[in-house]
Amino acid sequence: MRKLSRRDFVKSGAAAGLAAATPQVLGQAPTVLTPRSAKPVVISSANGNFYKNGGTQTGVEKAFALMTGGKDVLESLVAGVNILELDPEEDSVGYGGLPNADGVVQLDSCCMHGPRKRAGGVAALEGVRTPSLVAHAVLQQTDHHLLVGKGAQGFARNLGFKIEDDLNTERSRRLWLEWKRRTDPGHYLDPDKRAELHEATRQAMVAEGLLRSRHLHGTINCDGLSPRGELAGVTTTSGLAWKIPGRVGDSPILGAGLYVDGAVGAAGSTGRGEANLYGLSSFLIVEQMRQGKAPKDACMEALKRIQANTVEKRLLNARGLPNFNVSFYAVNLKGEFAGAALYGEDPEETGWAGETGRRVRFAVCTEKGPETLVCDGLLPGAP
């Protein structure tokens, strides 16, 4: 009988253990651990399935195609919103976005990468048509989360971004001049009256059909889940039309305009930024999903908080309810998604992808293609 060496003994023992752990079924392969897969989806505000900047794809279509084609999830989403930022007809983001009270287009954006747990943002950025790309550069090339004003512009210039003197289009400048013609700059001595006058002028221009009310607080939020189960999101905006110079809303602020946790989900918003900032609603939505709530229920919880926090008379309508709208978009790690709004109806919510009616909508793209769907509303009627 041959004596077993120590090496032979170890090898034979390992082989016996492997055989014992292998199912004794003819032709059955051993179990192999594979990377986690997911049902991919891109969700955004309704404008993500409307504007094409002269091309053939909307923002959600492009983001989905790139993401499912193997491109990084955040890079895909940024490429999708670039379509809107560059489209001169979309006057709520990027090039041609409605300017501030001084006629200057100031842009905000932020983005978050779930797997890398990195984020970047810019605020009050002037001269760059695609603030989402600059926000992405902040994420990639700095140790910071937010750059603002001239510092953000200088950072962009140093990286080779084209800095333009004026991002107004003929349309955005014409609308600003009309607004300016109707207001009295002498009200700087009475801030309350000045604010009332400017808001009344904005609403009058909406009533006359010069503006859509959604563009007063226009933004695009776009979130996605890749086939590899990776989450990311991006938000970009030109902010409140004719805002006080330097005003920054919720869009570039992590936890408000956007929040992503790669182990849970992503959420973002459009609408009245100040209402969203007060409760850091996107963070709240992701935390609600962490506790097991479905995306719709998580969004509804955030909307209830906004309603509860709205107590100033100037922000209430005749019914004692908020006189503004806020919409949320959320997706979890399972690929479940939802769009929800404070009010499910809005007289100005027409024209998205040929749709008509009063319902607030959101965009989504899955393997079925791009769709524009109706948001669930917390409160009845319209603001």
Domain residue ranges of the chain, discontinuous segments joined by +: 41-379
Question: Residue 363 has which token pair?
Answer: 């965009």
pLDDT in tens, 86-114: 999 999 999 999 999 999 999 999 999 99
Mean per-residue pLDDT for 163-174?
96
Max avg pLDDT among 110-124, 169-183, 340-354: 110-124
Q: Is the pLDDT of residue 288 over 50?
A: yes
Question: Residue 141 has which token pair?
Answer: 């090339």
Max avg pLDDT among 21-35, 264-278, 343-357: 264-278
Q: Is the pLDDT of residue 169 over 90?
A: yes
Q: Give the per-residue pLDDT at 201.
A: 73
Of 11 and 288, more confident: 288
Q: How far apart are CA 262 and CA 214, in angstroms?
A: 30
Q: Give the per-residue pLDDT at 187.
A: 37
Q: Is the pLDDT of residue 183 over 50?
A: yes
Q: How far apart are CA 379 and CA 81, in angstroms?
A: 29
Of 55 and 184, more confident: 55
Q: Give the per-residue pLDDT at 286.
A: 98
Q: Give the per-residue pLDDT at 97.
A: 96
Using a pLDDT cut of 90, give the percent of the chain over it. Answer: 73
Q: Give the per-residue pLDDT at 36.
A: 60
Q: Is the pLDDT of residue 71 over 90?
A: yes
Q: Is the pLDDT of residue 26 over 50?
A: no
Of 171 and 30, more confident: 171
Q: Is the pLDDT of residue 15 over 60?
A: no
Q: Give the per-residue pLDDT at 203.
A: 67
The packing angle between helices 73-86 and 59-68, to 10°, is 160
Q: Give the per-residue pLDDT at 60.
A: 98
Using a pLDDT cut of 70, give the percent of the chain over it. Answer: 80
pLDDT in tens, 42-59: 999 999 999 999 999 999
Please name the fold of domain 41-379.
Glutamine Phosphoribosylpyrophosphate, subunit 1, domain 1 (3.60.20)
Q: Give the per-residue pLDDT at 299.
A: 98
Q: Give the per-residue pLDDT at 31.
A: 35
Strands 337-343 and 258-261: unpaired
Q: Is the pLDDT of residue 185 over 90?
A: no
Q: Is the pLDDT of residue 348 over 60?
A: no
Q: Which of 219, 236, 237, 310 is catalytic?
A: 219
Confidence of residue 21 (pLDDT cuts 50, 70, 90): very low
Active site (annotated) includes residue 219: yes
pLDDT in tens, 210-248: 665 555 556 899 999 999 999 999 999 999 888 989 999
